[in-house]
Amino acid sequence: MSTAAVDSPPAKRRKTVTGNEDSALIEGLPDHITEICLSLVRRPSLLSAVCTRWRRLLYSPEFPSFLSLYALFVDSTSDPGRANPSVRFMCFNPVSSKWDPLPPPPPDPPLHRILYRHPSFISFNLPIQCVSAAGKLILIAGSNQQLSPAISHPLIFDPISSTWSSGPQIGSPRRWCATGACDGAIYIASGISSQFSSTVAKSTERLDLTENNRTNQRFNWEKLRDMRDLRFSREAIDAVGYRSKLLMVNVKGDAVKEGAIYDVVKDDWEAMPEEMLVGWRGPVAAMEEEILYSVDEKRGTVRKYDEETREWREVVVVEGGEEMLKGATQVTAVSGKLCVVTVDGKVVVVDVVAEPAKIWNVEIPHGLEPVSVHVLPRMSKPDFC
């Protein structure tokens, strides 16, 4: 090594990470080189255990994000007379194994006006619909006390900046609709407005959340081709983004089902093939929008869809795993894992890469009931940094 290299002055330290320009993440290395090296460590908990400076780095907006579990919860303790529970959003920190509350969202719409329980529906919880797209969490549909749409514009949470923002006005605000995401855009289809309308029940809208579109002055909802019939306005539906298409099935449970596929490139609808429809025996999700997985709500079995043979094949899980997954109501799929919400208020993770698939529970905060879960980049903590 040359003398010039040894004697060259060190690169200027970044004050944003450590709070001290003279403090190096690794002595003798410029911080930007250190950050590149540390970003290759696959387990952030290892970095967190080394020192406070590295722990601060993990939550810095400049450092590559690790994935975290986000959940929409309702208060499970407020049950007298079917009182409406409070709604809250939280993030599970895999480093500390703790749930952290998200910052308060904008006051419009007020979360306490979004209905989850109503005296007229004794054994039925009203849907609150959230989706994730382009690394963001979006609250998109729900009902108010008058059983009308509670949300006129989506609430969007950006984990990197740890801030909420209000999206543009939805063309036709609705509830009990189909919501989903594909290729960085969110979609809302069918559903019911303040009163049933065949126009709303067949309509479809899209909001592109990719960075190029969000900085455009024309950032707005786009009206798409109408659905072919009105059969998708009976209840809340998950529209599953899969290979530049949205897959949706009109009812849950054992009722006779009808499936529809929306091609986001061609802006056209088609019927879902019967061999694909038969796998909808519970919630369905697509891993990175490429591989379909379903969880049987009655049997707790996990299935994977083979596009070439057009068959659903069972995924072998550890002994007793099916019992843990019975009553599945919602699922999300990211990085080789399924995160499942069950009817008895549990969050279960399935590692489908392992053979047999490993399954474990995520401990949830006391007194809270999960409605839906999503996997997004970890929430940055500017104050901590």
Q: Is residue 35 part of a domain?
A: yes
Residue finishing a domain among 38, 58, 78: 58
Burial grade of 240 (CB within 10 A; 0-12, 13-18, 19 or more): buried
Tell me, what's the pLDDT at 163? Answer: 94
Let me know if residue 341 belongs to a domain: no
What's the pLDDT score for residue 86? 86
Residue 105 belongs to a domain: yes
> Of the candidates 91, 105, 215, which has an alpha carbon nearest to the alpha carbon of residue 166?
105
- Residue 321's region, left for phi above 0, alpha for psi from -120 to 50, else beta, is alpha
Q: Residues 213, 81: one domain?
A: yes
Number of domain units in the chain:
2
Whether omega before 109 lies within 30 degrees of 0, making that bond cis, reads yes
Asked if the structure places residue 305 within a domain, the reply is no
Q: Are residues 162 and 37 in the same domain?
A: no
Residues 94 and 225 in one domain: yes
Same domain? For 35 and 159 the reply is no
Q: Give me the pLDDT at residue 4, please.
A: 36
Stated pTM of the model: 0.86
Distance CA 101, CA 109 (A): 19
Does a structural domain hold residue 330?
no
Angle (CA) 223 251 330, round 5°: 90
Nearest Cα to Cα of residue 44 among 68, 61, 62: 68
Range of the domain at 224: 66-280+368-384
Give yes or no: residues 263 and 166 share one domain.
yes
Same domain membership, residue 164 and residue 139 = yes
CB count in 10 Å sphere of residue 214: 17
| Residues 105, 166: Cα–Cα separation, whole Å | 9
User: What span, in angstroms and rounded, lies between the C-alpha atoms of 329 and 272?
Assistant: 21
**What does the pLDDT profile of the chain (385 residues) look like in tens digits?**
433 333 333 334 444 444 444 577 877 788 878 777 777 777 777 777 778 777 777 777 777 778 899 999 998 865 545 567 889 999 998 888 899 999 999 888 788 889 998 777 777 889 999 999 999 999 999 999 888 999 999 999 999 899 999 999 999 999 999 999 999 999 999 999 988 999 999 999 999 998 766 666 668 999 999 998 888 887 889 999 999 999 999 988 777 899 999 999 999 999 999 999 999 999 999 999 999 999 999 999 999 999 999 999 999 999 999 999 999 999 999 999 999 999 999 999 999 999 999 999 999 999 999 999 999 998 877 555 4
User: Structure tokens of 260?
Assistant: 């529809």
In a domain, 322, yes or no: no
b/e per residue 172-195 (b: at least 16 CB within 10 A): bbbbbbbbbbbebbbbbbbbbbee
- Residue 212's pLDDT is 66
> What's at 186, amino acid-wise?
I
Q: What integer pLDDT is reported at residue 2 of this predicted model?
A: 36
Q: Same domain for 87 and 225? A: yes
Pick from 169, 223, 172, 207: which is nearest to 193 by CA? 172
Residues 49 and 145 placed together within one structural domain of the fold? no
Verify that 76 and 221 share a domain, yes or no.
Answer: yes
Is there a single domain that holds both residue 47 and residue 192? no
Q: Are 335 and 359 in contact (CB under 8 A)?
A: no
In this structure, the answer to whether residues 48 and 131 fall within a common structural domain is no
Task: Kindly state whether residue 70 falls inside one of the protein's structural domains.
Answer: yes
Residue 139 and residue 32 share a domain: no
CATH number at residue 223: 2.120.10.80
Q: Report the pLDDT value the prediction gives residue 383, as an integer from 0 to 100.
A: 59
Q: Is residue 192 part of a domain?
A: yes
Paired with 91 in beta bridges are 70, 100
As beta bridge partners, residue 239 has 180
DSSP state of 366: T
